[in-house]
Amino acid sequence: MTLLEGRGLSKRFGGVTALDQVSFSVEEGTIVALIGPNGAGKTTLFNLVAGALKPDAGQILFAGEEITGLTANVTCRRGLARTFQVTRPFATMTCLENVAVAVVNSPRSRANGTWRLSAHECLKAVGLGDLAHIEARHLNVVQKKRLEIARALATRPKLLMLDEVLGGLNTQEIGQAVDFIRSLRDEHHLTVFWIEHVMGAIMQAAEKIIVLDQGRRLMEGSPEEVVKDSRVIQAYLGD
Amino acid sequence: MFALAGMNGLVIGAIYALAALGVSLVVGIMNVINFAHGELYILAGYFSYLFANAFGMNFALAMTLAVALVFLFGLLIEYTLIRPTYGNDMYSLILTFILSIVLQNAYLLIFGPYPNKPPNWVGGSTLILGSFYYGNQRLAALIAGSAVITLVFLVIKKTWFGRIIRATSQDREMAELNGVNTKRLNMLSFGLGCALAAAAGVILAPIFPVTPTAGVPVALTAFVVVVLGGMGSLWGCVIGGLIIGLVENFGAAYISTAYKQVFSFIILILVLLSRPSGLFGRREA
């Protein structure tokens, strides 16, 4: 079943066409990767879906309902969570409080006292259980990324959108992160929509890859199909 | 005289802190400077005067009702004047400035230029440290002011609403992505900012009677306190308020009452020279 679908999405910034008639679909329960050279429009696509930007044309459907142009807090409550390329924790709040902000705003969780428990659960799920009372600004890069994911989980999403979570990690950490994202998907019944530059990780984890180039959808297919495709190789390496 | 000036400084300092917390809350969440802050402070004073003197209500009930009404008025201001100006801070600045002039003239028309005073809560005086008698009303104001400030701290630090406020003032977009309805939060925090001005107004009105323009120096001082304490710092508001209150009163007692306002600005300049982001301000990243 299709969880997220984009139909003919276009977005222009002044004279620059960032996205041009892009259609795509993300099936429920899968890990779908979004790749493409720099400037291909990947983050713009995320911004459209998550409600940070409004598309100039096209429709976005989530769980069968149209969410085009809805604001971020509404899409969040519908079950759509995203993380950022550059982590943005609430720096002077503790990890627990960071997650609590997301927990209390998620549907059906404002009953008194329960937030502490479920915020703790989210932190444990990403392995930050011991750092609950540390202020977020003291975390290292990997921990901040985990916190970002914990916050996303706390909104009880159906769809988790990850924007380059592996950037800045070493090879060993990347391996762990891929296992982690897979386990998240399995344990929390998530669907993952994932922008990534680290091809090795994508090849291991993704069931489907969507390739963008210069604002257009170049192709879509399994990891094996994508790496063999001459258009993809050309887009990345040039002629 | 030293102790007396000190007590006066604490009382007025607590009120400044309260008014500054209201300014700080609105600036932190919405990046809007409410120039009508002082007029809302006065409005609450007039309400409590009206309810207690003309309608014969109990003073506590009159005060609560006054603060509640100003809170509702704040919500209305946000909805009608501030919300349409989102994205342009200059418009809200001008609109609230106009609002302050309109309100001042409305007060003048309705209540006249005379000082109006709600009834005292308590009478008599208490001997402080065996050295001087101090009005019980002022002591009560100090206690009430401190209680409201403590309440604000508890709400901001300990409740889910406070966490949402802190998160949103740090990173608005991120808060929205975590499900915070920032539009509604804007309205609420603007109302609360006005309510804090109102709380300061009803507490101080029995001591310093309200006149149509009496809010101007209070609002001005509240802005000074916010900058002195550091934008976005709650402790900055409290410490800054107390510093300004004490400096004003010591200055008035030992140098001259005519220069009361000058002292606070001298302190502000001295602090900003050594700490450009205020006493407790975070340096801009």
What residue of B is the nearest CA neighbor of A82? B177
Question: Strand locations in chain A, DSSP E?
Answer: 2-13, 16-27, 31-35, 57-62, 65-66, 80-82, 159-163, 191-195, 208-213, 216-221
Cβ distance A57 to A232 under 8 Å?
Answer: no
Which of A3-12, A57-66, B186-195, B256-265 has the least mean pLDDT? Answer: B256-265
Shortest distance, CA B172 to any CA of chain A (angstroms)? 10
Shortest distance, CA A74 to any CA of chain B (angstroms)? 7
Contacts for B58 with CB less than 8 Å, ≥ 6 apart = B52
Tokens of B250: 């010591």
- Sheet arrangement for strand A65-66: A16-27, A2-13, A57-62, A65-66
Residue-wise burial string across B194-208, b where 16 or more C-beta atoms lie within 10 A, e elsewhere = bbbbbbbbbbbbbbb
A52, A76, A115: residue with CB nearest B178: A76
- Per CATH, the number for A2-79+157-237 is 3.40.50.300
Helices (H) and strands (E) in chain B, counts: 11, 2
The pTM (predicted TM-score) of the whole model is 0.82
Cα–Cα distance between B261 and B217 in angstroms, integer? 8
Averaged over B67-96, what is the pLDDT?
Answer: 91
Q: Give the ipTM of the model, two decimals please.
A: 0.74
Q: For chain A, which residues score pLDDT lower than 70?
A: 106-117, 239
pLDDT reported for residue B158: 86
Kindly determine whether residue B160 and residue A76, on different chains, have CB atoms separated by under 8 Å: no
Whole-number percent of chain B with pLDDT over 90: 50
Cα–Cα distance between A146 and A139 in angstroms, integer? 10
pLDDT reported for residue A239: 60
Averaged over B154-180, what is the pLDDT?
Answer: 88
pLDDT digits (tens, 9 = 90+) for B220-238: 999 999 999 988 788 999 9
Cα–Cα distance between A162 and A178 in angstroms, integer? 12
Tokens 């300049």, located at residue: B269
Q: What is the mean pLDDT of chain B?
A: 89
Cβ distance A83 to A166 under 8 Å?
Answer: no
Flag whether pLDDT at B1 surpasses 80.
Answer: no
pLDDT digits (tens, 9 = 90+) for A88-138: 889 889 999 899 888 877 655 444 556 666 888 889 888 888 998 999 989
Q: Is B5 exposed, middle or buried (0-12, 13-18, 19+ CB in 10 A)?
A: middle
Cα–Cα distance between A149 and A145 in angstroms, integer? 6
Which of A113-117, B69-73, B180-184, B266-270 has the least mean pLDDT? Answer: A113-117
Cα–Cα distance between A18 and B245 in angstroms, integer? 56
Kindly determine whether residue A71 and residue B173, on different chains, have CB atoms separated by under 8 Å: no
pLDDT reported for residue A107: 58
Cβ distance B225 to B244 under 8 Å?
Answer: yes
Flag whether pLDDT at B12 surpasses 80.
Answer: yes
Tokens of A144: 């901040």
Which of B264, B74, B274 lies closest to B188, judged by CA?
B74
Flag whether pLDDT at B186 surpasses 80.
Answer: yes
Q: Tell me the β-bridge partners of A219.
A: A211
pLDDT digits (tens, 9 = 90+) for B126-147: 887 777 888 889 999 999 999 9
B160, B170, B176: residue with CB nearest A72: B176
Alpha carbon separation from A31 to A60, A63, B248 (Å, rounded): 19, 16, 65
Averaged over B152-170, what is the pLDDT?
Answer: 90
Please report, for chain A, the start and end positions of each structural domain, with discontinuous segments joined by +.
2-79+157-237, 91-155
pLDDT reported for residue B285: 37
Tokens of B224: 């000074």
- Per CATH, the number for B2-274 is 1.10.3470
Best mutation target among B158, B161, B163 (most A Cβ atoms within 10 Å) is B163
CA terminus-to-terminus distance, chain B: 45
Which of A170-174, B31-35, B92-96 has the least mean pLDDT? Answer: A170-174
Whole-number percent of chain B with pLDDT over 70: 99
Contacts for A147 with CB less than 8 Å, ≥ 6 apart = A87, A89, A95, A98, A99, A123, A126, A128, A136, A139
- Number of A to B CB contacts under 8 A, please give it: 66
Averaged over B88-97, what is the pLDDT?
Answer: 89
Kindly determine whether residue A115 and residue B170, on different chains, have CB atoms separated by under 8 Å: no
Tokens of B208: 């310093």
